[in-house]
Amino acid sequence: MEQIPAEINALKAEIEALREERSALKSVTFNVSDDSPQNIVTAYRQQARNNPELAAEAKGIDDAIAALEMQLKQKQAQLKRLPAKVQRALQQEQLEAARNQAQIHAERINILAAELAAEIRNLKYCADELSPLYWQVYYKPFITGFKTISVPYIRSDGDVWTIVNRIV
């Protein structure tokens, strides 16, 4: 029973990947003046005749998407038929998995923010050292805007996560 949500997610991911692959295939373009049903049919048929390999691949992808969507509907129906207790437990498992994934991303963001803050401070130090000479040569500042530079930081009180901007 726990595998149904995983299967649903796998099906959704595969369908999305196939849709992206399908959209990447060269498609027929139409002029606004000739978008009549007859002209559309003619253009698609002509394209299929001109490139039968592409047409066969597109047809195969379309068929695969249709079959996977059918399986997805069946899995979703199976999930709905599960008892409410089981559905709730599955939702909690999904929530925990998503929360763990979010925690990983939040920690990575905080690490990158600390690195960025250090780089900004180093740049500010260089600018402070360079600015007097730069003014003498070019009559303008080397870098401006350091008073408002901030980096994101994610904190949590246990239940709610907050993204704040820390001024560097």
DSSP characters over 98-148: HHHHHHHHHHHHHHHHHHHHHHHHHHHHHHHHHHHHHHHHHSS-S---GGG
CA angle 15, 65, 71 (to 5 degrees): 80
Angstrom distance (rounded) from CA 87 to CA 83: 6
Structure confidence by residue, pLDDT tens digits, 21-75: 988 887 666 565 667 888 888 888 888 888 888 888 888 999 999 999 999 999 8
Structure confidence by residue, pLDDT tens digits, 102-151: 999 999 999 999 999 999 889 988 988 898 898 899 998 888 777 778 88
Inter-residue long-range contacts of 39-44, CB under 8 Å, 24+ positions, other chains counted: none
pLDDT of residue 97: 86
pLDDT of residue 31: 61
**Residue 100: C-alpha distances to residues 12, 46, 86, 94, 104 (Å):** 21, 51, 21, 10, 6
Q: Are 2 and 76 in contact (CB under 8 A)?
A: no
Enter the tokens of residue 14. 């595969």
What confidence tier does 155 reach under pLDDT thresholds 50, 70, 90? confident
Angle in degrees, 0-180, between the axes of helices 3-24 and 52-81, rounded to the nearest 10: 160
pLDDT of residue 71: 94
Nearest to 58 by CA among 89, 22, 9, 34: 22
What confidence tier does 83 reach under pLDDT thresholds 50, 70, 90? confident
Angstrom distance (rounded) from CA 162 to CA 98: 17
Q: State mean pLDDT over 89-112.
A: 89
What confidence tier does 80 reach under pLDDT thresholds 50, 70, 90? confident
pLDDT of residue 65: 94
Q: Are 25 and 60 in contact (CB under 8 A)?
A: no
- The whole-model pTM stands at 0.51
pLDDT at residue 163 is higher than 80: yes
Structure confidence by residue, pLDDT tens digits, 1-28: 568 878 888 999 999 999 999 888 876 6
